[in-house]
Amino acid sequence: MKGVILAAGVASRLHPFTLTRPKCLLPIGGSTLLGRTLDNLEAAGVRDVVIVTGYLEDQIRRYIGEGFPQLRVTFITNEVYASTNNIYSLWLAKDEVAGEGMLLLDGDILFDHHILTALLESGYPDVLAVKSGFLLRDEEMKVETDAAGRIVTISKNIAPARAVGESIGIEVFSPAVLPGLFDIIERKVVGEAAVDVYYEAAFQDWIDRGGTLRAVDIGDRLAMEIDTVDDFRTAERDVLPLLPPLRT
């Protein structure tokens, strides 16, 4: 199992915080978003990590080299980070996870490491973390499931009343399904030049072709995606104090 962290974007909605540093290196609680993600991966037993970088990538490489020498980290550069979305960054990682399982994470999430354990120990090979129990808005990447917990639709365009919750940007895929999934991603990126869409569009195509992706509700475990300055302040105030402690 390899962890794949997507951390290429400019994060203009977090200006001025991200004018001089990438979003994943925003300081929070004595660490950074990226540092906490790497700690969480290590706590879950994942020590092989692929990080797709772009904006101010030298800072990320230096940060990893100085702070995480115990991890096996491979860097991939998205050279067109300013004009592409996360589907393109994920496509760039395809060769690094060939023959492996993949634990995929967006690089802008503050979350409880027990979420990773819940996914890895769910009993299902291909799963996606879902946060429920709150008022969904248009902005959230929403998930609709059938009675067995299999995802039927994943999109921001789902009517909130039909959704079971929000996809928080953490997924596990088995080695058996990754070749087919990356074939779909490659068709979108290369064949259709759909480089500015979310990777969930490829997940939906895979589901529509008969693939099974199950939703795992994270329950009362905390997770928050940070897109704006207000998000960052809320995460510091309401989420950070309730998270399990970091490594010592």
pLDDT at 248 over 50: no
Terminal-residue alpha carbon distance, the chain: 24
Percentage of the chain modeled with pLDDT above 70: 99
59 CB-contact burial (10 Å; exposed 0-12 / middle 13-18 / buried 19+): middle
Give the domains, in start order, of the chain with CATH numbers.
2-242 (3.90.550.10)
pTM of this structure: 0.96
SS3 125: coil
Q: CB count, 10 Å around CB of 210?
A: 7
Quickly state the pLDDT bin for 246 (edges 50, 70, 90): low
Q: What is the dihedral of CA 127, 132, 135, 141, to 10 degrees?
A: -10
Question: For residues 64 and 74, is the Cβ–Cβ distance under 8 A?
Answer: no
The β-bridge partners of 72 are 48
In tens, the pLDDT along 9-65 reads 999 999 999 999 999 999 999 999 999 999 999 999 999 999 999 999 999 999 999
In tens, the pLDDT along 126-141 reads 999 999 988 898 889 9
How far is Cα 117 from Cα 4, in angstroms, rounded to an integer? 16
Burial 166-189 (b: 16+ CB within 10 A, else e): bbbbbbbbeeebbeebbebbeebb
Q: CB count, 10 Å around CB of 243?
A: 19
